[in-house]
Amino acid sequence: MKFTTKAMADAFKITPRAPRKSFSPILPPIALYRRILRAHSQHLPLPQRLLGDQYVSSEFRLHRSMDNPSQIVAFLSTWQKYVASLEADNWKHESLDWLSVSKLNNEQVIQLYELMQAAKGENSEYQIDEKASPDAQPELPAWYRKHRDRS
Model pLDDT for residues 97-146, shown as the tens digit of each residue: 788 888 888 888 888 888 888 877 765 555 544 555 555 555 666 666 66
For the stretch 90-102, what's the b/e string if a residue is b when 16 or more beta carbons lie within 10 angstroms of its beta carbon?
eeeeeeeeeeeee
Rg of the chain (C-alpha set): 23
| Higher-confidence position of 97 and 54 | 54
Domain limits, the chain: 25-90, 98-125+138-151
Asked if pLDDT for residue 37 goes beyond 80, the answer is: yes
| Higher-confidence position of 145 and 50 | 50
pTM of the model: 0.58
Nearest to 52 by CA among 35, 65, 64: 35
Burial degree of 132 (CB within 10 A; 0-12, 13-18, 19+) = exposed
pLDDT of 120: 77
pLDDT of 124: 53
First and final CA of the chain: distance in angstroms?
A: 62
